A and B are shown apart, each in its own frame.
Chain A
Amino acid sequence: MSESLSEAPAAAVAATGLPGGPGAASAPPRRNDFLHYGLRNRKLLFGLGLELILVLVAIIGPYLAKNPPMYITPYPLQKPGGQYWLGTDLTGYDLYSQLTSGLRESYLVGALGAGCAALIGMALGFVAGWRGGWLDELVQMITNIIVMIPSLVLLVVIGSYLSSRSVLFEGVFIGLTTWPWVARAVRAQTFSLRSREYVDLARLSGKRPLSIILREIAPNMASYLFLVVILLFGSSMLLAASYDFLGVGPNNVASLGWTMNQANANAALNYHLWWWFIPPGAVLALMVFALLIANVGLDEVFNPKLRES
């Protein structure tokens, strides 16, 4: 009960819009503002629209495929068109089926990687930024060390020992090696927010640190955090493609990187089999490109300074 009582003054003070603490105060009108600027931001609409189309392809596409992605058809090296919309490869895999399942797999790994990285990075970033002192030093040290370990080569070493690897493993591995990006961002923001008046007030009113972090600090960097996570989502998909291309990705799963791996291993370039390696990478580039453009648009929506230009 004392919790809810002590919350009241903090919220009330924040609502008066003290200098330095406008975040929580003007939340309701600002949200409409975001919608207002969001619907008028061409970059955001373009990026979001393109991404939405690709997500739809990832959801619906596999249902339209005539064969499962790992099914070997009796017609290898078919050009795109007719029976096989995107052709078949040297083994006889239906490339349309592989592409659409690969899209799905990419989104899944991207979400897993970004989700894991966001969880770990936020937890460590909040703790380091809030507590400061030796704990901060420790977290920063760990962050700096992780950043310097080349993750691709590490995965190659681990992957060569593991005979079976799943999509979950790949996503979690990406999350475990990319969280420093989130941790750095969250730590820096927490550091600058923790000495604001409304945070001091919340502290004075006896709120516990966890609830201050969750209700006073986190909402004020939500937009920023959102942008970081979107970027991580894109880079996770790109990383996964590199891993799959190297052959250390999930086994027996059709992914965009794996299709390119097969094309490279079977000298598709030499025989001008362009339909084998151009679509998977082009689609992945589009997926990430749409995310990046949406990200710039969102940045302009959240950040009034950028809006004017």
Chain B
Amino acid sequence: MRRYLTRKLITYVLAFFVGVSIDWGIPHLMPGDPIQGLVSRFNVGSSAAYAALYKTFAQSFGLNVPLWQQYLDFWKGVLTGNMGGSIYAPGATVSSLVFGAMPYTLALLVPAILLSYSLGNRLGAAAARRKVLDNSVLPLGYFLQAIPYPWLALVVPYLFAKVWHLFPLSGGYDQGLVPHWDWTFVASLLDHWFLPFLTVFLVSLGGWAIGMRNLVIYELENDSSRYLRALGASERVVRGYAYRNASLPQLSGLALQLGVVIGGNVVTEIAFNYPGLGNLIFHAISNQDFFLLQGIFIFIVLGVLIANFIIDLVFVAVDPRTRLSMQGAAA
């Protein structure tokens, strides 16, 4: 178990290192000069004023020291959580903006991932080798899997909010409310939360159902299942074992799928104008707030790594091979 977790942790540390280095490297590798773009927003006339402004910006972003120093400074900022100020929201720091938006994103992502995973798996397992159920679950699953996130994030609010008037169209809470903990605000939060949650949930659901269906069919054909049946075990028991075995590849699939779901969540938040990280990304893009974007990137990489580590811990709990340091959990 220790060996398994150590290996995983080394990968995570390396991934974090690569992520931060890419994040730092992009502005340096890209053609064009971000500071030039920034200065040009101020519309300065004389070249002397331009040069002065340029120098101020370069200094305030720490771009006037050698490259290696900039790299180390970047790491220092990352490790201390001090990633500089934001251009889009002057006065706010990158970390404060990110921490302000994070609860909304987590409130969408965590329930959507967990619910779609568990319900999808159950649906898929139930559909495997059962004609009637399979004939409805399979096409529906493939259809959900084929839906582009941006489309569902437009169609769901259109139908539920504009046509049927069941839920609010966009935003994180009623515009007239000030965020604080009381029942009206919480009710408004939930009201606005439901549709974006539904969108992320629905798109993920199909993939899990289909994956589980295929894995359970494969397990039911296995020698171990045949043996169980030969011993006289009931179909329920055989299916129970098949489900447990099929859960392992699904769990490592969950780790692989995280990046895609996070991307989908970003798209959904933008379409719903939901005040999470995705929306922050949107504002950062439209205001060319590079530092905010770089900061958000690091936080998301960190989030993915933490989620992966949690999945590893679950693996230790459900797959005995990882505890015994046998191969297992081949992800």
The answer, among A162, A246, A261, A292, for a CB contact under 8 Å with B146, is: A292
A:291-308 near B, CB below 8 Å: 291-293, 296, 305-306
> Are the C-beta atoms of A153 and B148 separated by less than 8 Å?
no
Smallest CB separation, A148 vs chain B (Å): 5
Shortest Cβ distance from A239 into B: residue: B263
| CB of B166 within 8 Å of the partner chain | no
Interface residues on chain B, number (Cβ under 8 Å): 63
B157 / chain A contacts, CB cutoff of 8 Å = 269
Most chain B CB within a 10 A radius of its CB, from A269, A272, A286: A269
> Are the C-beta atoms of B146 and A157 separated by less than 8 Å?
no
> Are the C-beta atoms of B293 and A160 separated by less than 8 Å?
yes
| CB of B301 within 8 Å of the partner chain | yes
A145-B15, A150-B300 known; A285+B23 contact, CB < 8 A? no
The answer, among A242, A264, A287, A289, for a CB contact under 8 Å with B263, is: A242
> Are the C-beta atoms of B151 and A282 separated by less than 8 Å?
yes
> Are the C-beta atoms of A242 and B259 separated by less than 8 Å?
no
A156-B285, A296-B142 known; A274+B158 contact, CB < 8 A? yes
The answer, among B15, B22, B270, for a CB contact under 8 Å with A154, is: B22
| CB of A134 within 8 Å of the partner chain | no
Which of B27-35, B95-103, B182-190, B228-236 is found at the contact surface with chain A? Answer: B27-35
| CB of B150 within 8 Å of the partner chain | yes
B162 / chain A contacts, CB cutoff of 8 Å = 269-270, 272
| CB of B315 within 8 Å of the partner chain | no
> Are the C-beta atoms of B155 and A281 separated by less than 8 Å?
yes
> Are the C-beta atoms of A285 and B262 separated by less than 8 Å?
no
> Are the C-beta atoms of A260 and B151 separated by less than 8 Å?
yes
> Are the C-beta atoms of A160 and B169 separated by less than 8 Å?
no
B294 / chain A contacts, CB cutoff of 8 Å = 157
> Are the C-beta atoms of A149 and B169 separated by less than 8 Å?
no
> Are the C-beta atoms of B290 and A160 separated by less than 8 Å?
yes
> Are the C-beta atoms of B154 and A153 separated by less than 8 Å?
no
B304 / chain A contacts, CB cutoff of 8 Å = 148-150
Complex CA–CA separation, A248 to B270 (angstroms): 13
Shortest Cβ distance from B296 into A: residue: A153
Complex CA–CA separation, A157 to B26 (angstroms): 8
| CB of B316 within 8 Å of the partner chain | no
Complex CA–CA separation, A22 to B298 (angstroms): 50
Complex CA–CA separation, A284 to B138 (angstroms): 19
Q: Can you list, as one digit per residue, whether each of B238-275 has a CB less than 8 Å from chain A (1) or not (0)?
A: 00000000000000000010110011101100110000
> Are the C-beta atoms of A264 and B154 separated by less than 8 Å?
yes
Complex CA–CA separation, A149 to B16 (angstroms): 9
Q: Can you list, as one digit per residue, whether each of B271-312 has a CB less than 8 Å from chain A (1) or not (0)?
A: 100000000011011101010011011001100110010000
Smallest CB separation, A93 vs chain B (Å): 17
| CB of A130 within 8 Å of the partner chain | no
Complex CA–CA separation, A171 to B251 (angstroms): 29
> Are the C-beta atoms of A148 and B154 separated by less than 8 Å?
no
| CB of B69 within 8 Å of the partner chain | no
Complex CA–CA separation, A282 to B147 (angstroms): 8
Smallest CB separation, B49 vs chain A (Å): 24
Smallest CB separation, B101 vs chain A (Å): 13
Complex CA–CA separation, A249 to B138 (angstroms): 32
Complex CA–CA separation, A117 to B26 (angstroms): 22
A285-B143, A309-B129 known; A153+B266 contact, CB < 8 A? yes
> Are the C-beta atoms of A281 and B285 separated by less than 8 Å?
no
Complex CA–CA separation, A152 to B161 (angstroms): 28
Shortest Cβ distance from A47 into B: residue: B142
The answer, among A154, A160, A269, for a CB contact under 8 Å with B288, is: A160
Complex CA–CA separation, A288 to B266 (angstroms): 21
Q: Can you list, as one digit per residue, whether each of B153-169 has a CB less than 8 Å from chain A (1) or not (0)?
A: 01101100110000001
Q: Can you list, as one digit per residue, whether each of A152-177 has a CB less than 8 Å from chain B (1) or not (0)?
A: 11101111111100000000000000
A147 / chain B contacts, CB cutoff of 8 Å = 256, 259
The answer, among B23, B31, B217, for a CB contact under 8 Å with A162, is: B31
A272 / chain B contacts, CB cutoff of 8 Å = 162
A245 / chain B contacts, CB cutoff of 8 Å = 149-150, 267, 270-271
Smallest CB separation, A261 vs chain B (Å): 8
| CB of A217 within 8 Å of the partner chain | no
Question: Can you list the 4 inter-chain pairs with the closest CB atoms, starting with the nearest?
Answer: A281-B151, A152-B263, A288-B146, A245-B150
Pairs across A and B, CB under 8 Å, 15 listed: A148-B258, A153-B281, A157-B293, A157-B297, A159-B285, A160-B284, A160-B285, A160-B288, A241-B149, A246-B285, A260-B151, A270-B162, A277-B155, A278-B154, A309-B217
